[in-house]
Amino acid sequence: MLVPVILSGGAGTRLWPVSRSAYPKPFMKMGDGESLLYKTLDRALHLAAGSPVLTVTGRDYYFLTRDDYAGHPQADLDRLPFLLEPAGRNTAPAVLLAALHAVEHVAPDATLLVLPADHLIRDLDAFAADAQRAAALAADGWLVTFGIRPTHPETGFGYIRMGEAIAGREGRQVGAFVEKPNRDTAETYVASGQYVWNSGMFCFRADALIAAAEQTCPDVLAAVRVCHTGASGSESPVEFSREAFLAQPDISIDYAIMERAPRVAVVPAQFDWSDIGSWKAISELEGESDAADADGNRVRGSAIVVESSNCYIQSDARMVAAVGVRDLVIVDTGDAVLVADRERAQQVKLVVDRLRASNHDAATFHKTVHRPWGSYTVLEDGDDCKVKRLTVKPGHVLSLQLHHRRSEHWTVVHGTAKVRVGEKEFLLQRNESTYIPMNTVHRLENPTDQDIHLIEVQCGDYFGEDDIVRLEDRYGRIPAKV
């Protein structure tokens, strides 16, 4: 049984300002309107043939992920179990937790197909064929990775040196895993024909992976077993103790297992692949479509380009004008603008480092922030007030809460809201409003079958998310989040 395991998360650094830590790369929409996560689920369902598709993601991304999955016509959310990480960790703990879960809930010899949620693969038939080749090797006890034949001397990827062919199977033994090379070394690798890019996708039996971990990283496996044993709930979603989870070593599956295990194979991929690792990669994908003009400019959204060449421009709402420039990436999300040389697009993560060092919200949040109950968009953020537009999904409810340092005014602009202020409960119709004083218990609920929209005006001397005293919450969130 082939069990796809989707790894979804990320720090949101290389594709800022669209990707941010509260809304990382897997949720980014491509030109066709589908997210990378949705496309990964589509690939997984293409192969699952009735077996479960397991998703390992952050607890903060759970409801956002379910919403994305719910849009897939073949997605049965009851057959899409989730393992929720309480904090960021590396891939070795994530994959080993998935393996222990599969042993317990599927079968000890279940074959896992590990798929990062931020890759783009368009040829599903070629991908399915390579996955079956990998599964055949995994059935023989091999730990399998997928290698991508290099199209150019890339210095941003790790490489795999392919070894001897495996008799009776379509794959090669791994000769060596190689760190990201410099330009001259990468050119040598590509010219030799014996090296492939390390894709970060894997295939192995759950029991074979665990046995290899016992040999190569017993300390990691021991910590993962403790974390798995202490998980809350056997049904999806499975949540882990924060203390036990953070006790797991922060190490990748490559370093912990794949580079040390004795029976490791590589399947040279026949499918197309991109890890969408920079804005340059995004611009090249757009350049393959009809979006490119005669001067090589690619535009998504609203832009005017005058005497410019080889530029990629993306704007969510505002008009962008480019005059007399070349080889630039220009991305406008409404609350932030990126202007970068295409060849230096990998350095965008340095911008995020500086934003985090200064505790700027733009490193984490967009103007529109997604929550389990819906979303809110910040319309104004001043010293004396903050204005938001809230969208609450049908049947959803915000937490029962109060604030010590701000009051709030709610005005319904669409739909009907059920409101509690203190001990009073009442319905609020379109163009009606209510006032919530400081230190007053309140809650907002959508009892209808349509989205409701409200304008929330906060007044006070502090508007941080930590001025929330949560009394009840349907979604089990920690007190510091709305």
> Tens digits of per-residue pLDDT, 15-27?
999 999 989 999 9
CA distance 342 to 331: 12
> How far is C-alpha 403 from the geometric centre of its chain's CA atoms?
31
Tell whether 71 and 212 lie within a shared domain: yes
Q: Is the peptide bond before 17 cis (omega within 30 degrees of 0)?
A: yes
Tell whether 286 and 435 lie within a shared domain: no
| 154 in a structural domain | yes
| 357 in a structural domain | no
CA distance 314 to 299: 6
Is it the case that residue 446 has pLDDT exceeding 50? yes
| 256 in a structural domain | yes
Residues spanned by the domain of 296: 279-348
98-112, 190-204, 274-288: which has the minimum mean pLDDT? Answer: 274-288
Q: What is the CATH number of the domain that holds 264?
A: 3.90.550.10
- Number of structural domains in the chain: 3
For the beta sheet containing 337-341, the strands, ordered from the edge strand earlier in sequence to the opposite edge, are: 298-300, 312-315, 328-332, 337-341
Tell whether 116 and 186 lie within a shared domain: yes
Q: What is the pLDDT of residues 210-252, one digit of tens each?
A: 999 999 999 999 999 999 998 876 678 999 999 999 999 999 9
| 410 in a structural domain | yes
Do the Cβ atoms of 11 and 24 come closer than 8 Å? yes
Q: Given 215, 236, 268, which residue is the final one in a domain?
A: 268
Tell whether 442 and 381 lie within a shared domain: yes
Can you tell me the mean pLDDT for 51-70? 92
- Beta-bridge mates of residue 368: 377
Q: Measuring CA to CA, which residue among 377, 445, 436, 380 is closest to residue 408?
A: 436
Dig out the tokens for 333 from the structure: 């999300």
Q: Given 299, 316, 348, which residue is the final one in a domain?
A: 348
Tell whether 331 and 403 lie within a shared domain: no
Q: 């589509």: which residue's tokens?
A: 42
Tell whether 335 and 374 lie within a shared domain: no
Q: What is the CATH number of the domain that holds 440?
A: 2.60.120.10
| 22 in a structural domain | yes
Q: Measuring CA to CA, which residue among 108, 104, 112, 44 is closest to residue 235?
A: 104
Tell whether 303 and 380 lie within a shared domain: no
Tell whether 199 and 320 lie within a shared domain: no
Tell whether 83 and 39 lie within a shared domain: yes
| 188 in a structural domain | yes
Q: What is the pLDDT of residues 290-306, one digit of tens each?
A: 568 899 999 999 999 99
Tell whether 307 and 238 lie within a shared domain: no
CA distance 401 to 138: 51
| 177 in a structural domain | yes
Tell whether 166 and 31 lie within a shared domain: yes
| 167 in a structural domain | yes
Tell whether 50 and 136 lie within a shared domain: yes
Look at residue 481 in the predicted model and tell me its pLDDT: 44
